[in-house]
Structure 1
Amino acid sequence: MSNDSPIKVGKFEGFSWIRCEGKGSFLNSPAMKEFGESRIKSGESCLVIDLEACTGMDSTFMGTMAGLATRIAEKNGALQVANAGEKSCHSLEDLGLDFLMEINPGNSVWHDVAEQAQDLLKPKIAGMKAGTVLHTRHVLEAHEILADANDGNKKKFSAVVKMLGDELEEKSGKAR
């Protein structure tokens, strides 16, 4: 993972916080996914993804966010996006992801303690490395989630999903 775009995380009373500093990408989205999934499995009902220091997001990062939003919603929880600027809001809305997550909610359990929470976050490094079969599977899954989000996305991401599926099949064959 690149040190210029770390993911920082923290567990708090009533919510868990994930902060992206720099670009949200295929390189640091595995760290976000690992922490988010572990918190959902532990019974967390509110995941907060803080985009205040995020300079942009690629499709893998947004697909990973959408996957976490879907998984926590299945457990009657919510993924809330904090401090999303105009660019981030537009990117999420353009892919129809604003229907899966709450963007900049005004009334939230964390609203009054956001600054204190940010000060207590710790860096999270993903257990998977770019270029591995596991990482390719992660990127493919993120794009499949985006493609399934709506019909417009299906068209946008069909070539990427096919290419990644072929790449994964080739890598899996070589790994045997």
Structure 2
Amino acid sequence: MVETGKPVFFVDVHSDPVVMRIEGRASFQNSSCLRDFATEMLAQGKTRLVIDFQHCTSMDSTFLGILAGVALQLRQKTKASDPQPLILARVGQRNLELIRNLGIHRLMTVDAGDFKMSFDKCSRPLTQQEQDELTSARVALEAHENLIAADEGNRSKFQDVLSFLRNRVENGSL
């Protein structure tokens, strides 16, 4: 675990599949770097990603929506016959419950056991760029729209959040 207590995503971009290790809480405060990283990897032709959740203490809906968006992006770039483009490894019981509750487990492979892969070479930390409140609202809106794209049943769960975020983004005022 990271000594500072600050949540960090560590990556190994030289492996195939690309691997990421989450240390700490995955939330709206740090999920943009996951989206940006996945976009960067796709631009480089890397279409397989494994994320280690062993030390992920919790997740919020914005992070889960970004995760769903990454899964949808990867699916668009791969053929149905290709291996699963996104694997979540060593997912704890509480995080597994959140993933299943939102239906995003259908977009990826979720391993709740002892995944047989080394995450020791994940040494490059991703950095979260500073965002103004409007940009953060746009990211959160996109993330929650991804959750609805993943499972229409999520619309009722997040309708108030979506209305609030759309209003903020459309009015440009925060």
TM range (shorter): 0.7 to 0.9
Give identity over the alignment, percent.
Answer: 30
Match of 2:120 in 1: 116
Matches within 5 A, 1:127-166: 127-129=129-131, 131-166=132-167
What's the TM-score once normalised by structure 1's chain length? 0.85
Structure 1, gaps ≥5 residues long: none
Q: Is the 8 A contact 2:92 2:112 kept in 1?
A: no
What's the TM-score once normalised by structure 2's chain length? 0.86
Match of 1:104 in 2: 111
Matching residue within 97, 100, 103 for 1:93: 100
1:97, distance to aligned residue in structure 2 (A): 0.7
Per-residue CA deviations over 1:15-40 (Å, capped at 9, x if unaligned) read 11222211110001011111111112
SS of 2:153's equivalent in the other structure is: helix
Question: Relative to 1, partners in 2 of residues 1:115 and 1:3: Cα closer, same or farther, differing over 3 Å?
Answer: closer
C-alpha RMSD over aligned residues: 2.2
Structure 2, gaps ≥5 residues long: 79-83
Q: Which runs of 4+ in 1 moved over 4 A?
A: none
1:101, distance to aligned residue in structure 2 (A): 0.8
SS of 2:13's equivalent in the other structure is: strand
Q: Is the 8 A contact 1:147 1:153 kept in 2?
A: yes
Q: Is the 8 A contact 1:133 1:168 kept in 2?
A: yes
Query: Take 1:19 and 1:136, find their aligned partners in 2: how far apart are those partners?
Result: 26
Query: Take 1:144 and 1:81, find their aligned partners in 2: how far apart are those partners?
Result: 21
Q: What is the aligned residue count?
A: 165
Match of 2:14 in 1: 12
Query: Take 1:115 and 1:24, find their aligned partners in 2: how far apart are those partners?
Result: 18
SS of 1:84's equivalent in the other structure is: coil
